[in-house]
Structure 1
Amino acid sequence: MWADALLISAGSLLAAFCASIAGFAFVLVGAAVLLQVMAPALVAPVLVMGSLIVQGIGTYAVRDHIPWRRLWLYVGTATLGVPFGLAILALGPARAIVAGVGVLLVVYASYTLARIALRMTPARRAATTATDAAIGFASGILGGIGGYVGALVGMWADVQGMPPQDTRALMQPFIAIMQALTIIGLAFTGFFTAEAIFLTATAVPALLLGTWLGLRAGKHLPAQGFRLVLLGLLLVSGISLLI
């Protein structure tokens, strides 16, 4: 039990640090570490609760910059998308859809990183209500399939050239709200065992430390450095969806 607690704490520290800088990827980073040594049924509730804590703290840090109207559009459309994701998961083609999203993320991140390396001016796209709604709905579908609610929002933020603070102010509350809804679903399906709650509780100091370190690093990271971190995590996200 205590060996598992140490592993959870180590994975949570790294995941919290990354998520606090980029605004997403807590579940991605944590799962990459913990699923190597622990059962998914135990890892899932721990990561979702940990993600809610980290994103909740991050949301408080950017509370004065949250675009509330835009955020509720994302939450509303994503919530509508979740049942479709669950249905896809039940019917079977979920793996193909996840792989397709993985290819999209890998191609986009690789192409954009190459443009940065070649010092080419990035192409920007303006957001519209329709595109925001589509990204939110698609994120909800991915959330229903496997909890991947942040990657597409992160990619869309980069396409628009959003500043770091604005990116985090949109992504962190969005992910926090969606994780809260996920927790309700996990609770009703019996995933919150005494062991999962114990492991989450023991990881709280690591979560707080990783979040604090990530927020401090994010404040001193220039916009281009933030973009490189964001694109790097998008690339890793895409690769993880393909494996």
Structure 2
Amino acid sequence: MSSLVPVFSWLDPSAWPSPGALAVAALALVAAYAIFTLVGFGSAMVAAGPLAAVLPVARVIPLLALLDCAGAAGRGWRQRAHIDRGQLRRLVPAMVIGQILGIVLLGRLPAAWMAGVLGGFILTYGLWGLAAPRPPALLLRWGPLCGLIGGVFGGLFGSGGFLYAAYLSRQPLARESFRATQAVLMGLSTGWRVLLCAATGLVDPLLLGLALLAVPAMLLGTWLGHHLDLRLSKERFLRLLNGALVAAGLGLLARVLVA
């Protein structure tokens, strides 16, 4: 019966979100998927707050997981010729193990402490990237470790994509290969999250309807991100990527301090 309960009580106008809140949520989705298209992660960082103002929080995470999975899978399919399968072989098995470990640890570690550690790690990594104009490449043998840690963060917080993007950006990959390989990693990671949400009853017809309503904003953001990407040099792209990491780290630390 819970799946039949509407998100908003349409018979009670006082329960409707304000037009301003809906507009902000739609603009946040556009911005989130422009950033997601550019750097391969960050949609939840941008959109979760505004969406929580118009939707129950329990709907926000599975909604973004559905949109992330669809967007990443679509991009990976369109650019499949550019996928670096060697990098996938290094990252994916470790990522799966890490996600299982993260889910096991989810109920056993203090959430605030872990969020603080994650925020500090992301912030430090982003600042290091901004301070180094030409950051050194990471050795290939670091791939499984990055996959493992990213999987753990994904299992714990639903946000391990930043680490895959940070690792791949340090590899001698063409921009198209970076995009395609990151898209496959995010498609697999978010697809696993969607399955977990479905197993716990969070994916239902109402959520699928909300996702369909959000698709135009996601497509507009994807289009905007693609056109911005065409105008970015590699150096500007790396600055944007590391700036997004800094913002994500600061956001996590702020949530820990406010909680």
Quote how far apart the aligned CAs of 1:6 are.
Answer: 5.3
Question: Which structure is higher in RCO with an 8 Å CA cutoff and minimum separation 6?
Answer: 1
Who is 1:57 aligned against? 74
Out of 119, 136, 141, the residue aligned to residue 102 of structure 1 is 119
Who is 2:176 aligned against? 165
Consecutive unaligned residues in structure 2, runs of 5 or more? 1-7, 9-15
Q: Give the paired residue count.
A: 237
CA distance in 1, matches of 2:137, 2:212: 42
| Alignment of 1:41 onto 2:58 | yes
Quote how far apart the aligned CAs of 1:37 are.
Answer: 4.8
Moved more, 48-57 or 4-13: 4-13
Moved more, 155-164 or 56-65: 155-164
Who is 1:213 aligned against? 224
Who is 2:96 aligned against? 79
CA distance in 2, matches of 1:103, 1:163: 29
CA distance in 2, matches of 1:232, 1:162: 20
CA contact (8 A) 2:138 2:167 kept: no
DSSP 3-state at the match of 2:137: coil
Out of 32, 37, 41, the residue aligned to residue 24 of structure 1 is 41
CA distance in 1, matches of 2:176, 2:165: 13
Consecutive unaligned residues in structure 1, runs of 5 or more? 117-121
Quote how far apart the aligned CAs of 1:81 are.
Answer: 1.1
Quote how far apart the aligned CAs of 1:161 are.
Answer: 6.2
1:1-243 matches, cutoff 5 A: 1=8, 3=17, 8-116=25-133, 122-128=134-140, 130-160=141-171, 162-242=173-253, 243=255
Q: Aligned residues: percent identity?
A: 25
CA distance in 2, matches of 1:96, 1:140: 18
CA distance in 1, matches of 2:125, 2:157: 21
Moved more, 45-54 or 163-172: 163-172
Calculate the TM-score normalised by the size of structure 1. Answer: 0.87
**CA RMSD, Structure 1 to Structure 2 (Å):** 2.2
Q: Per-residue displacement from partner, 1:14-58 (whole Å, max 9, x unpaired)? A: 111111111221222222432355432010111001111221232
Who is 1:119 aligned against? none
Moved more, 22-31 or 130-139: 22-31
Moved more, 51-60 or 153-162: 153-162
* Amino acid aligned to 1:212: W
DSSP 3-state at the match of 1:125: coil
